[in-house]
Amino acid sequence: MTVGVAVRPLETADPVRAVLEARERGLPIALATSGTTDRPRLVVRDPESWWASFAAYSELTGVGAGAVVWIPGPLSATMNLFAAVHATVVGARVVSSPQHGRSPGEVTHACLTPAQLDLLGGELGSEVVICVAGARLERRSAAPNVVHYYGAAELSFVAAGGHADDLRPFDGVEVELRDGEIWVRSPYVCLGYVDGATGPLRTDPDGWATVGDRGRWSGSTLRDRAGTLSVLGRPGAVTTAGATVVIAEVEERLASVARGPVAVFGVPHEVLGEVLAVAVVAEEDLVTLRAFAREQLPPSHRPRRWQVVDELPLTPGGKVDRARLARV
């Protein structure tokens, strides 16, 4: 499904107010999702799909009237805009402190990515409830005052828990695994994309939707919600510092200026979750591609690891063996 006309909050001076007014007028909103290098892909949703999740989000985080919520990240990130809108609606106050990333001392709650938790979490006392999303939160970062949820711009909330291997379906969400792929059915799913854009969202006639993330269920069955869900990531993409980057798009851009073969793949990173890495066959491509990435790609799409190989390894099917490159 595609939608052509919607309010675009991020093109206004006050995105939060724009969302509130769109709901009052009964208009859908269009929100950018990371994943494209040159043209943002806009996800369209009915504001009611956010309002429907407010009670469950309040229960998860404890954000209510009188709370002070620190959101250090930009409102261009859907998770941050949602948190700001929710806080406004329930009577909480949103604060930010752009100077050197320091947080105000009066905060009661914070909305952070895992990378921000590593960098800024030490500034917050144990009494501050920290909601972490936007990327996988490893078990090592779990704490009594930290809650974590998995979702996507297209799906909104899917599952929540203490860390990425301790997730249970979010209130109001049905989850099932189809050949290891996570499918959801809930009132929180978006309407589609703006202007006929293509993206990872797929739906079926019964109201189920997926963005291609893969998962594993531990314990009992999904139907009785007694086990836990682990999110394993999306094939062909990496999530770095909360941004989902499609590998093929970055590879296409780099290959357009490379002299020899080039392969892009993801590797784990302790702080950012994952980062992009590049393997080239022609050594002279290193200087050219590094300069191109620095000048032509947004920060989230810039590779952080580079290597030269004699040849690109292939899978039995003839495709580049990115898993093997990641182990080099």
| pLDDT tens-digit series, residues 37-47 | 445 689 999 99
Query: Of 139, 70, 161, 79, nearest to 108 (Cα)?
Result: 70
Number of domains the chain is built from: 2
pLDDT band at residue 314 under the 50/70/90 scheme: confident
Residues 99 and 149 both lie in one domain: yes
Residues 16 and 80 both lie in one domain: yes
Residues 11 and 143 both lie in one domain: yes
Residues 163 and 293 both lie in one domain: no
Q: Is the pTM of this model over 0.85?
A: no
Asked whether the predicted pLDDT for residue 318 surpasses 70, the reply is no
Residues 205 and 283 both lie in one domain: no
Tell me the three-class secondary structure of the chain, residue by residue: CEECCCECHHHCCCHHHHHHHHHHHCCCEEEEECCCCCCCEEEEECHHHHHCCHHHHHHHHCCCCCCEEECCCCCCCHHHHHHHHHHHHHCCEEECCCHHHCCCCCCCEEEECHHHHHHHHHHCCCCCEEEECCCCCCHHHCCCCEEEEEEECCCEEEEEECCCCCEEECCCCEEEEECCEEEEECCCCCCEEECCCCCCCEECCCCCEECCCEEEEECCCCCCCCCEEEEEECCCEEEECCEEEEHHHHHHHHHCCCCCCEEEEEEEECCCEEEEEEEECCCCHHHHHHHHHHHHCCHHHCCCEEEECCCCCECCCCCECHHHHHHC
Q: What tokens appear for 133 in the block?
A: 């999303």
Name the domain boundary from 179, 199, 233.
Answer: 233
**Mean pLDDT for the stretch of residues 236-241:** 78
CATH number (domain holding residue 303) = 3.30.300.30
Q: How long is the chain?
A: 328
pLDDT at 248: 74
pLDDT band at residue 110 under the 50/70/90 scheme: very high
Cβ within 8 Å of residue 14, ≥6 positions away: none
| pLDDT tens-digit series, residues 151-198 | 999 999 999 999 988 999 999 999 999 988 999 999 999 999 987 777
Residues 227 and 287 both lie in one domain: no
Name the domain boundary from 180, 206, 233.
Answer: 233
Print the domain residue range for 40: 2-233
Cα separation of 134 and 132, whole Å?
7
The helix (H) or strand (E) run that includes residue 110 is: strand 109-112
Residues 97 and 139 both lie in one domain: yes
Mean pLDDT score of the chain: 86
Residues 258 and 320 both lie in one domain: yes
Residues 161 and 20 both lie in one domain: yes
**Mean pLDDT for the stretch of residues 319-326:** 83
Name the domain boundary from 214, 233, 252.
Answer: 233
Residues 267 and 119 both lie in one domain: no
Residues 185 and 39 both lie in one domain: yes
Residues 166 and 19 both lie in one domain: yes
Lowest pLDDT segment from 65-79, 139-153, 168-182, 258-272: 258-272
pLDDT at 232: 73
